[in-house]
Amino acid sequence: MPELPELQAHAERLTELLAGRALVGFRPLTFTALKTVAPAPDDLVGRPCEGVERIGKYLLLRFGDGRFVVHLMQGGRLEPDPKQAARPRGGLARWTFDDDSALLLTETAKEKRAGVWVVAGDPSGQPPLDGLGPDALGISRDTLCKALTGHKGMRVHGFLRDQRAIAGIGRRLSSEICWRAKLSPFASTHKLTDDEVERLHAAIASCIDDALALERDRASMSSSAERPGHVYRRAGEACPECGDEVRAVEYSAYTVNYCATCQTGGKVLADNTTSKFLK
């Protein structure tokens, strides 16, 4: 699933592309694409696009005080649609503009979970954004401390992935941040020392900044395989910091990658879900 850096850079590209173009129409191409009934998409027709924003892992197309909120989920893409085919492959929804251009939401995954919400006014207090924690981009140390305090007893890797705790970070960045902060992914949030919190805060900023710089150099959003990592999906390879083997803990829905030497004092966590977590 795209994370904060991919979505932030894509929002900037789409803003450059769409700003000033008036909306002519919005058409859901599947029954499940549009998740809201009111306001109606037609309420935004005729308004110029004022830009594309990002909150957490959501993209927001802004038209005055109204917005289309888009979640790409696992395999979704929001891209220009020059062909405007009647039945585009994987097509979920289409926006058309007054210069005859169009934007198409597609999803390659079998379960069509990507979708569109229409909201009026402040979107942060409305579904699907109302449950999000503070955004990870530019998060202050004090805000991070408050989030950690409010989610006691969580493992750091899970805390980073939980959008209610901190918004925008996913599986890849969670492993990369823990590695860069030299923290066990399974350390408890309420047991972190001041120094560990400082390292975690710095790692969040630097990992996001590095990934965002790479994404901004691209013409379109990267695929999962194109996103670089020091430990994520590198099990069995050498840690670029110490040379020890990068290890993995596999779960049904995701993988945690880490370096035992750099992060867990040399302790190795057995690769199964019933293993005892490292302290």
Q: Which fold has domain 4-125?
A: N-terminal domain of MutM-like DNA repair proteins (3.20.190)
**Where are the domains positioned within the chain?**
4-125, 141-263
pLDDT at 218: 95
pLDDT at 276: 46
Average pLDDT of span 158-176: 97
Q: What is the chain's mean pLDDT, rounded?
A: 94
**Phi and psi at residue 57, to the nearest 5°:** -105, 25
Spatial CB neighbours of 255, under 8 Å, sequence gap ≥ 6: 171, 175, 233, 235, 248, 249
pLDDT at 74: 84
Q: Is residue 110 very low, low, confident or very high in pLDDT (cuts 50, 70, 90)?
A: confident
| pLDDT beyond 70 at 63 | yes
Q: Which fold has domain 141-263?
A: Helicase, Ruva Protein; domain 3 (1.10.8)
pLDDT at 175: 97
**Residue whose structure tokens are 């062909």:** 83
pTM: 0.93
pLDDT at 272: 55
| CB-based burial label for 271 (10 Å; 0-12, 13-18, 19+) | middle
pLDDT at 274: 43
| pLDDT beyond 70 at 270 | no
| pLDDT beyond 60 at 266 | yes
Taking the CB of residue 17, how many other CB atoms lie within 10 A of it? Answer: 15
Instruction: Give the percent of the chain with pLDDT over 70.
Output: 96
- Of the listed ranges 23-27, 72-76, 244-248, 252-256, the one predicted with least confidence: 252-256
pLDDT at 172: 95
Alpha-carbon distance of 219 to 226, in angstroms, equals: 13
Alpha-carbon distance of 230 to 217, in angstroms, equals: 20
Q: Is residue 279 very low, low, confident or very high in pLDDT (cuts 50, 70, 90)?
A: very low
